[in-house]
């Protein structure tokens, strides 16, 4: 990995996968801009990075708002003068019903964060990365973006859209030396997951058993995949959707 002196932006970095990836970037010597709507979580991530000897700055941003995303990018330049890598991780998952049971508010919320948010971030990240002569972007999709997700059809549609955005941007900017890939996690051990299953260990065991490896994933395992996709080791990889799923999509 050859990241020293470079700058990475991570959205949705206040906890979970985003926090773990921000920490991984910092551990490799990058300066990291941590962004989230959760101020306490984002500042907590910065504190952890600084305690470990890294360099990080928090900038609050609602990725669904064009003006806030533009302000985020301006903040990146003001703090560190450049942008080399971006992990567009901010996303929500709030739907638990069949197609005919959904509602417009859920649809709008999921699509605004998961799709519009990724599109807006890439829209303003790409010129900054081009100014450095190239770099890499990774978007958080999901195994739900690689197939069906019963009772989460809107969420699945949003992640299919993220993969479409990823592939399209990868082709558009390939000759600009910007690689654009997606990471597609299965179920990962995050605070959100624990809140949903801590009251029902039986359900948690069932979810773990859905993965051929017999367990759910760790946030550090997704962070490692993002780091690989950003690294020179993946210099010939673009437009790819990397499943990190314990074998679940191989069934």
Complete domains list, the chain, with CATH = 7-187+218-250 (3.40.50.720)
CA distance linking residue 75 with residue 64, whole number of Å = 17
Region 211-233 average pLDDT: 95
Q: Does pLDDT of 132 surpass 70?
A: yes
Please, which pLDDT band fits residue 94 given cuts at 50, 70 and 90? confident
Torsion of CA 51, 55, 59, 65, to 10 degrees: -120
Q: End-to-end CA distance of the chain, in Å?
A: 33
Bigger pLDDT: 4 vs 26: 26
Q: Does pLDDT of 178 surpass 70?
A: yes
pLDDT computed for residue 95 by the predictor: 84
For the CA atoms of the chain, what is the radius of gyration?
17
Q: Does pLDDT of 234 surpass 80?
A: yes
Please, which pLDDT band fits residue 196 given cuts at 50, 70 and 90? low
- Hey, CA dihedral for 108, 149, 22, 182, is it positive or negative? negative
pLDDT computed for residue 72 by the predictor: 98
Which residues are identified as catalytic? 155
3-state secondary structure of 102: coil
Please, which pLDDT band fits residue 149 given cuts at 50, 70 and 90? very high
pLDDT computed for residue 113 by the predictor: 98
Q: Enumerate residues 6+ apart whose C-beta is below 8 A from 204.
A: 197, 198
pLDDT computed for residue 1 by the predictor: 60
E strand or H helix at 82? none
Region 98-119 average pLDDT: 96
Q: What is the pTM of this model?
A: 0.95
Q: Does pLDDT of 148 surpass 90?
A: yes
């Amino acid at each position: 990995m050859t990241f020293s002196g470079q700058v990475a932006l991570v959205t949705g970095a206040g906890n979970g996968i985003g926090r773990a990836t921000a920490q991984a970037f910092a551990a490799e010597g990058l300066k990291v801009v941590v962004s989230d709507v959760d101020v306490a979580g984002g500042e907590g991530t910065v504190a952890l990075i600084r305690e470990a000897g890294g360099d990080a700055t928090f900038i609050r941003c609602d990725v669904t708002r064009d003006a806030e995303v533009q302000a985020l990018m301006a903040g990146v330049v003001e703090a560190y003068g450049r942008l080399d890598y971006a992990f567009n991780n901010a996303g929500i998952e709030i739907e638990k019903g069949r197609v005919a049971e959904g509602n417009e508010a859920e649809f709008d919320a999921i699509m605004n964060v998961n799709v519009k948010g990724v599109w807006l971030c890439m829209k303003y990240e790409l010129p900054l990365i081009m100014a450095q002569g190239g770099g890499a972007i990774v978007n958080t999709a999901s195994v739900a973006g690689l197939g069906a997700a019963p009772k989460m059809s809107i969420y699945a549609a949003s992640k299919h859209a993220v993969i479409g955005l990823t592939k399209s941007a990868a082709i558009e900017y390939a000759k600009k030396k910007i690689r654009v890939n997606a990471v597609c996690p299965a179920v990962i051990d995050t605070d959100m997951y624990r809140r949903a299953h801590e009251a029902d260990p039986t359900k948690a065991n069932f979810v773990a058993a859905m993965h051929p490896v017999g367990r759910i994933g760790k946030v550090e395992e997704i962070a490692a995949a993002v780091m690989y996709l950003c690294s020179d080791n993946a210099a010939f990889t673009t437009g790819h959707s990397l499943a990190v799923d314990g074998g679940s999509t191989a069934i």
